Amino acid sequence: MDVTFLGTGSSIPTKDRSHPSVLLEYEGDSVLFDCGEGTQRQFVLAKKSFMKVSKIFITHWHADHFAGLPTLLHSMHLDRRERAVEIYGPEAKKFVKAMMKIGYGKQSFRIRAIDVPHKGGIKKIFENEKYEVFSCPSSHSVPSVAYLFAERDSWNLDREKLENFGLEGPQLNGIKERGYIKIGKRKLLLKDLARKKGGRRVVYTGDTKKSLQIAKLAEGCNVLIHDSTFLGKEKYDHSSAGDAAAIAKKAGAKLLILTHFSSRYPSSSDHLREAGKVFPSVIAAKDFLSYTIA
């Protein structure tokens, strides 16, 4: 599971920071969180393939988080894409429909817009046999959400336990699917014969003020990627580095990655210093940073 930061700036880009976009690659699949202006060029510079992207999760419809969509989709068309693309977001159907009316663009593939609830609690918005995606409302000036990418838990059969029960080969067929096997009149559960491996979890907040809802979404996550636009008490519907650290601490996250830095700050060193006082396991994202979640 690899996370690549294609853009780590905020509303006004700088020469070093493009608009927000984060690529997550997992077992041959690629999903994109936000798609700021210039995202397709960032793909090229990062030597990543935007043709592999199956789903795009937009946190909210401020231009710095979605303005790269029309050109990215057009480039997919020019590269003769056939596979459908799903675009998730609050009020996605309305915004995607309006966006597709701009210009004379054509599409060689289907674009599915899926509305994500921006009120209430945590909701599951996608699942397959490998992973699930959840959302919850974030705290911003417009309808907005944060996302959790959650790998499903897995079970690894324990050789020592199997030997203790004299089990091997064909006897074990289907145990992971059923959750048990029968040996004569005895029923053995999967947990008696295997060790559970918790799935990896990544949370991406988009723009948000300090939110206990996001802390709940991020509970025990491997990586929390959090809005850290400002420092100290300067907020304006965003978080400071200290706010992000407080949420990471409350959630029990393993690692906090700060992103979405205001252009007024030439360096992220002060953000790291502020966050580190609250939550030591923290790094600052920069464009093209790639992080592998083991």
- In the DSSP assignment, the letter for residue 271 is H
Q: Which of 139, 164, 129 is nearest to 59 (CA)?
A: 139
Q: Quick one: three-class SS letters along 106-164?
A: CCCCCEEEEECCCCCCCEEEEECCCEEEEEEECCCCCCCEEEEEEECCEEEECHHHHHH
172 φ/ψ angles, rounded to the nearest 5 degrees: -95, 0
Question: What is the rounded distance in angstroms from the CA atom of residue 135 to the CA atom of residue 52?
Answer: 23
Question: What is the rounded distance in angstroms from the CA atom of residue 22 to the CA atom of residue 19?
Answer: 10
Which residues make Cβ contacts (< 8 Å) with residue 183, sequence separation at least 6?
165, 167, 171
Q: Which of 12, 67, 23, 59 is nearest to 261 (CA)?
A: 12
Which residues make Cβ contacts (< 8 Å) with residue 75, sequence separation at least 6?
40, 50
How far CA 132 is from CA of 8, 159, 201, 294, in Å, comes to 25, 29, 10, 18
Question: What is the rounded distance in angstroms from the CA atom of residue 141 to the CA atom of residue 138?
Answer: 10
Round to the nearest angstrom and report the end-to-end CA distance of the chain. 7
Residues designated as active site: 64
